[in-house]
Structure 1
């Protein structure tokens, strides 16, 4: 391997410092630790902030309440610019983006196992990309470095790590992800028909509520506390994942935040 065949070299080529946020960087994601799970999250620039749409089924209420507005305001500008860079890289140099992601996932897996924890990955922290359909070319030296010679060089990130758990929220109906990709369908103020169809397909539904008004039942299902942790694959089947409103969503007047 020469000096241009390293993660550091890929960072320089891409003009970024990294893709994944470690488990401890988000208080809610850090709570996964009590389940023995170390989950790393990929945050892109939500909606079309980067000039590229990453949330094709977003509603007006979803856009206004976006988690891009949550967190410490002092770091918001820098955080947003970093996410815009990542998003542009995803659309403008997909193979470079994905090979960086592969190497970062491999590092995160090693770190989790060293801590005697199960690795997990949420690739849509602030986006809604159908990763089960996004194929890319794995660089030969990356395949060699990680002993991934079984990869056919035109597959998906989920196929590359079949024994690793991925999970996300989505508003895109009808998805059929592989077994290692768990999806929770997100309710908005305009997708009642999609919610009904996804419930019929067996998916759990995530709904946003006022901080002090999370009900015991919603849509005829029991509501669990979705803020106890972020690891949705651990949720029981047939529930509503109740999420307390955050960021600018506290000012919602669209019906996105359910009462």
Structure 2
């Protein structure tokens, strides 16, 4: 049994990062020669522990966790609950497995001649740059062949994998900007003040629109189609990242989370 398989068995999880190609939108990154692996946790407080501290009623209802095929919902939810409980109950084991999986993904992508990328908040909003841990000796020895490691506490982003590109959406204002961690700030129905502050800091803003239309300009900024690919580090700055609402609950939104486009405002 390999080191990674042994740790997964100890934790009772099959994998932390999702299988490549399991998310159709993320798979679109291939046309940019980018291979992205995504960590999906159980969103909100579904596990009994909160992973989206700034969530609103609107984004909770429209969460992408519920937008997939109902046929896979039970299996998907159970896997994400296991990962989330492991994250809270045995953080160090979780992070050591995650570090090994990130390394494996990076090596596979590079062998294919692709740029590796990582999204740690596929269905969560955790401040990963502050989540420090200690590498197990055997994990440290394995990673040291290719990646920088040390004996002190470190995070998986700029300490162990400083040359890998990480990216996420976030609704948590004021987060630290790491050189290899690209963050796009999310507009919700209740956080315009924070959005304005993040725009001043140079953050791009993600906005969810009705599925029928993505406007060309919003909040005084040009809008790029955020569904063309998932790879946000390639977006121009400053801009608004326009995302079409997914899922039945999202499409039925009345909270204001789904923003009205220009044509909708004129018709109102």
* Class of the TM-score when normalised by the shorter of the 2 chains: over 0.9
- Report how far residue 211 of structure 1 moved: 0.8
- Report how far residue 177 of structure 1 moved: 2.9
User: 1:33, 1:68 → 2: CA distance?
Assistant: 22
Aligned length in residues: 256
| 1:51-83 Cα shifts (integer Å, max 9, x gaps) | 110000001000010011111110001101110
Partner of 1:200: 200
Partner SS, residue 21 of structure 2: helix
Partner of 2:136: 139
8 Å CA contact retained: 1:143, 1:149: no
Instruction: Give the CA RMSD over aligned residues.
Output: 1.1
Matches within 5 A, 1:1-259: 6-147=3-144, 148=147, 150-158=149-157, 159-247=159-247, 248-259=249-260
8 Å CA contact retained: 1:136, 1:156: yes
Structure 1: stretches of 5+ with no match in the other structure: none
- Report how far residue 24 of structure 1 moved: 1.2
Report the TM-score, using the length of structure 2 for normalisation. Answer: 0.93
- Report how far residue 149 of structure 1 moved: 6.1
User: 1:52, 1:225 → 2: CA distance?
Assistant: 33
| 1:88-122 Cα shifts (integer Å, max 9, x gaps) | 00000000001100111111011101110000000
Partner SS, residue 76 of structure 2: helix
8 Å CA contact retained: 2:116, 2:165: yes
User: 1:152, 1:190 → 2: CA distance?
Assistant: 42
- Report how far residue 214 of structure 1 moved: 1.5
Q: Which runs of 4+ in 1 moved over 6 A?
A: none
| 1:30-62 Cα shifts (integer Å, max 9, x gaps) | 110111100000000000000110000001000
User: 1:23, 1:174 → 2: CA distance?
Assistant: 31
- Report how far residue 216 of structure 1 moved: 1.2
- Report how far residue 8 of structure 1 moved: 1.0
User: 1:134, 1:241 → 2: CA distance?
Assistant: 27
Partner SS, residue 223 of structure 2: strand
8 Å CA contact retained: 1:22, 1:39: no
8 Å CA contact retained: 1:222, 1:239: yes
Report the TM-score, using the length of structure 1 for normalisation. Answer: 0.97
